[in-house]
């Protein structure tokens, strides 16, 4: 996750109180590479909707809104789609063009965080919904979030379609890059499974290497730049980004934050685990280098007056909720907690946290309770100092 995520946070912060919850999205899209456009039809089913309904629609051109075949009036207000009244489900036809969240190249199209740039949705991270996504792209290789039976935040929905090379073996699938990436990916997956105590939950993990600069974890696959694959081919130790994005399949997707107030539980955790993986693969000196980089970054931020609690509920701007602090202070605090508890108790605590919270939305309090139980003592002093 990089700068694009900060813009998303700004949008989320601006939302009014929405009096509904999406239960399920059924979406069918058809991208056209030459025209740089996408046509879509989706049905949104609501669990609760007291109306009016305010949905995020980016720059989409809305062609029609209907319920049970009957036309429903709608209004556009900036990036919002406003629909009066109460509705159990809505069917929306729309068209999308190139945007921040929908990137076209001559031979491919893919998403980049901003889901409302390619489908109508509720962008709030706390609104988790199931998904059935179909991508009609004849002649192209496709990867997508597909069918999600576990409620998932919409910013983790994604797809890619293009003239990608394709390699698949066992539970590894690689699009747009050499198969040599499979070896270190499998090693990182085994490391994460062992440390978390939880196996990867899908039969296949796909990495899509695209033109451009996207770095996105999505529900059960990852989008990365083709240039990064080239860098890995030149330097086989350049695996931090690969491991970091894979770690989000556990911390960020398997265990999402309740909201962005505890963003560090995703980004700090993924940063720390990527560092530990590199240390185990290349030696202790590599881990010390990586974790010290985070420590130095945190100290610089602190010296600049930019420190704040990791569990921070007073954010009103993207910079307050996001930025580098959750990554680097988060990773450094996890290292300090490991020193406090020792190897055995720390990793026992992480496994307990993972088992107790899989599929749930978490706060820092959930993490603390699991670590308290593993340690057999109250860690409120540590958490008061470093988290709250």
C-alpha to C-alpha distances, 236 to 128, 227, 232, 286, nearest whole angstrom: 37, 14, 5, 13
Please list, in sequence order, all residues whose beta carbon lies within 8 angstroms of the beta carbon of residue 346, skipping any fewer than 6 positions away.
337, 338, 371, 374
Q: Which residue has the tokens 């934050």?
A: 257
| Cβ–Cβ under 8 Å, residues 50 and 65 | no
Q: Residue 290 pLDDT more than 70?
A: yes
Q: What is the mean pLDDT of the chain?
A: 92
Pick the CATH number of 166-247 from 3.30.2010, 3.30.360, 3.30.720, 1.10.150: 3.30.2010
Q: Using CA atoms, how far apart are residues 118 and 261, in angstroms rounded to an integer?
A: 27
Give span(s): CATH 2.60.40.1730, the chain.
Answer: 18-97+111-152
C-alpha to C-alpha distances, 117 to 71, 80, 112, 120, nearest whole angstrom: 23, 11, 9, 8
What architecture is the 260-386 domain classified under in CATH? Orthogonal Bundle (1.10)
* Closest C-alpha to 90, from 78, 77, 73, 75: 73
Class of domain 18-97+111-152: mainly beta
- Identify the pLDDT of residue 346: 98
E strand intervals along the chain: 20-32, 37-49, 53-56, 61-67, 70-71, 75-77, 80-83, 89-97, 102-105, 108-111, 128-135, 141-144, 147-153, 159-162, 166-169, 172-175, 205-210, 216-218, 221-225
User: How do residues 366-380 score in pLDDT, each as one tens digit?
Assistant: 999 999 999 999 999
* Closest C-alpha to 325, from 304, 341, 350: 304
- Identify the pLDDT of residue 19: 79
DSSP assigned state of 310: S
* Closest C-alpha to 331, from 236, 247, 217: 247
Q: How many CA atoms lie within 13 A of 383 on its CB side?
A: 17
| Cβ–Cβ under 8 Å, residues 73 and 67 | no
Q: Using CA atoms, how far apart are residues 8 and 216, in angstroms rounded to an integer?
A: 13
- 50-54, 168-172, 350-354, range with the lowest pLDDT: 50-54
User: How do residues 317-349 score in pLDDT, each as one tens digit?
Assistant: 545 666 899 999 999 999 999 999 999 999 999
Radius of gyration, alpha carbons of the chain: 21
Please tell me whether residue 378 adopts helix, strand or coil conformation: coil
If one compares 332 and 3, the residue with the highest pLDDT of the two is 332
Q: Report the share of the chain in percent with pLDDT over 90.
A: 85
Q: Report the share of the chain in percent with pLDDT over 70.
A: 93
Q: Residue 9 pLDDT more than 90?
A: no
- Identify the pLDDT of residue 315: 66
User: How do residues 23-73 score in pLDDT, each as one tens digit?
Assistant: 999 999 999 999 999 999 999 999 876 778 999 999 999 999 999 999 999
Give span(s): CATH 3.30.2010, the chain.
Answer: 166-247
State how beta strands 61-67 and 89-97 pair: antiparallel
Global pTM value: 0.92
User: How do residues 113-147 score in pLDDT, each as one tens digit?
Assistant: 899 999 999 988 888 999 999 999 999 999 999 99
Q: Which residue has the tokens 């999600």?
A: 148
Q: Residue 5 pLDDT more than 60?
A: no
Read off the pLDDT of each residue in 2-25 and give the average, rounded to a whole number: 60
Please tell me whether residue 148 adopts helix, strand or coil conformation: strand
């Amino acid at each position: 996750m990089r700068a694009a995520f900060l813009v998303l946070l700004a949008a989320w912060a601006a939302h009014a109180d929405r009096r509904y919850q999406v239960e399920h999205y059924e979406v069918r899209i058809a991208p056209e590479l030459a025209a740089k456009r996408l046509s879509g039809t989706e049905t949104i089913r609501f669990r609760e909707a007291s109306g009016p309904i305010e949905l995020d629609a980016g720059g989409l051109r809305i062609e029609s809104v209907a319920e049970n075949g009957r036309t429903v009036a709608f209004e556009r207000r900036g990036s919002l789609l406003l629909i009066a009244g109460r509705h159990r489900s809505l069917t929306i036809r729309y068209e999308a063009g190139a945007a921040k969240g929908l990137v076209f190249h001559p031979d491919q199209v893919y998403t980049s965080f901003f889901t409302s740039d390619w489908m109508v949705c509720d962008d709030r991270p706390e609104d988790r919904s199931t998904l059935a996504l179909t991508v009609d792209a004849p002649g192209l290789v496709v990867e997508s979030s597909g069918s999600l039976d576990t409620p998932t935040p919409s910013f983790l929905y994604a797809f890619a379609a293009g003239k990608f090379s394709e390699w698949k073996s066992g539970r590894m699938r690689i699009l747009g890059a050499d198969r040599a990436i499979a070896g270190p990916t499998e090693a990182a997956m085994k490391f994460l499974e062992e440390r978390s105590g939880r196996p990867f939950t899908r039969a296949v993990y796909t990495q899509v290497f695209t033109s451009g600069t996207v770095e996105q974890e999505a529900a059960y696959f990852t989008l990365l730049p083709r240039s990064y694959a080239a860098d890995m081919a030149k330097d086989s130790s350049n695996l931090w980004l690969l491991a970091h994005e894979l770690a989000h399949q556990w911390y960020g997707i398997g265990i999402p934050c309740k909201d962005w107030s505890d963003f560090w539980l995703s980004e700090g955790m993924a940063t720390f685990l990527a560092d530990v993986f590199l240390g185990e693969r290349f030696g202790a000196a590599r881990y010390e280098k990586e974790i010290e980089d985070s420590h130095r970054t945190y100290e610089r931020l602190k010296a600049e007056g930019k420190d704040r609690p990791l569990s921070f509920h007073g954010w009103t701007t993207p910079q307050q909720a996001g930025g580098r602090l959750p990554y680097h202070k988060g990773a450094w605090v996890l290292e300090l907690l490991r020193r406090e508890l020792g190897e055995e108790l720390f990793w026992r605590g992480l496994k307990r946290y993972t088992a107790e919270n899989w599929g749930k939305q978490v706060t820092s309090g959930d993490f603390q309770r699991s670590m308290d139980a593993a340690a057999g003592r109250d860690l409120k002093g540590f958490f008061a100092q470093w988290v709250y």
